[in-house]
Every structure is written in C-alpha cells, then in structure tokens.
Amino acid sequence: MKKSSLKNFLTVLYYTSNKENPNFENNVIENLRKVCGDLPIVSVSQKPIDLGKNICVGDDVGVTGFNVCRQSLIACEEATTPFVVTAEADCLYPPDYFQFVPDKKDKCYRNTNLYVVGFKRDYFWRKLEGALHSQVIGREFYIKRLKELFEGQPMWSKEMKNFPKEIKKPLFEEDAFEYYKTKDPVVQIKTKEAMRFHTNSERIQINNIPYWGNGKEFKEKYYETN
C-alpha cells in the first residue's frame, strides 16, 4: 500500500496518564510525530497535550488498566479510519510500525518484535509476547469489545489496575489475536512511574538492536531527562 493512502486506513491512538517525566514523554511524542508520517492522531490524556486531536479527561481519574481501556475507547470513537494503531507514553516506535494495515477488521493484530529497557539498565531485553502497546486493530471491532467489557461499570476506576481481569473476562479471546512482525523493533522503557514494573521478557542482555542501535546511547537520547 502506498504511504500516501495509509492515512485513509490508520489512526494513531495515543493514550497517557501524564505521569512520566515530562522531558521523557516529550521525547516519546517528538519521535512519534517524526515516524508516523501523515497519519491522523487522536490523543486522550489526563492533562492537556499538543498532539493531534487531543481529548483531556482530567488528572483525577487515576492510573489503572481500566482507565487505559476507557481512554482507548474515547480515542476509537473520535477516530474515523477502519483501523487504529496503538502508541503509549513510554514506548519508542520505528517508522514501519505505522505502515502495517491488517487484512481483517475483526482481529487484534499484535506485533512480536518487542524489546524492553529498565530505567536502571542501559541494555535491552527481548519481550516474549505481544502487548497492548504494539497492536493494530479494527476500530469498530475494538469499540464493540470495549463497550461489552464496560457494561455495568463506572466511567472511571482507580481500583481496577488489571482490568478486565477484575471482572473475570479477557480483553479478547485467544482466537481474536493474529500476530505479525515489524522489520524494526518497538522498545518500551520501564520507568519507576510505570503502572506495572515487570514484564514477561527474556533475561538475556542485548547491547545493540536494529534501528535503535546501542542501549546506552538509546537511553541517553530518549530517557535521560536532565
């Protein structure tokens, strides 16, 4: 598909609690602007930000998995394209992440080329499974599922950290997932401000990865905030 037509199919869905160090999140946002081309962006934040179409929900709602899903639903309902591609406030994305258009509108496509860096480390670990922070999904399919999960629930929750586990339902059934692999990896930086400190990853030190290069230089460029 021609890059010029991607904007007709994909909207970047960016959600944030604005709890990361502002300099770090600014680096994330500037990288996102640089690599996503002319794709439309809908950002749903807890404080106002200058990124695409911004919807601010207020900073008193709390940092939980429930609120991540609620902010995602708000963004999906604002978007108009057939698919949405996820972007989070602690992740760095390569250009080709924003160039994948799925074949099916009723599946959740998760990227498997993922790495993670801890805020006390300057090297990479390979993540062992797909994640919410690196997925492309049919917009209407996502809206339908989120509304099903939110049925009978409050608008916001400060308690449901791991939603929808608290209501004993999965985000999607296993047969709803498809997997793909970008040429270059998506990297998540786990900071002390993160909602979750741990992730399922291969505990093997990797000093250099494609596109991003050396781990120490990567951290200095994107995460060091002084």
SS (H, E, C) the chain: CCHHHHHHCEEEEEEECCCCCHHHHHHHHHHHHHHCCCCCEEEEECCCCCCCEEEECCCCCCCCHHHHHHHHHHHHHHCCCCEEEEEECCEECCHHHHHCCCCCCCCEEEECCEEEEECCCCCEEEECCCCCCCEEEEHHHHHHHHHHHHCCCCCCCCCCCCCCHHHCCCCCCHHHEEEECCCCCEEEEECCCCCCCCCCEEEEEECEECCCEEHHHHHHHHCCCC
pTM for the model stands at: 0.93
Digit-by-digit pLDDT tens for the chain (226 residues) are: 554 589 999 999 999 999 999 999 999 999 999 999 999 999 999 999 999 999 999 988 999 999 999 999 999 999 999 999 999 999 999 999 999 999 999 999 999 999 999 888 999 999 988 999 999 999 999 999 999 999 999 999 999 999 999 999 999 999 999 999 999 999 999 987 766 556 677 889 999 999 999 999 999 999 975 4
Residue in 198, 189, 190, 193 with CA at minimum distance from that of residue 222 = 189
Taking only the tens place, the pLDDT of each residue in 91-124 is: 999 999 999 999 999 999 999 999 999 888 999 9
**What's the rounded Cα separation, in Å, for the pair 134 and 185?**
10
Taking only the tens place, the pLDDT of each residue in 172-188 is: 999 999 999 999 999 99
Domains, the chain? 3-113+129-189 (3.90.550.10)
Residue in 58, 72, 155, 74 with CA at minimum distance from that of residue 108 = 72
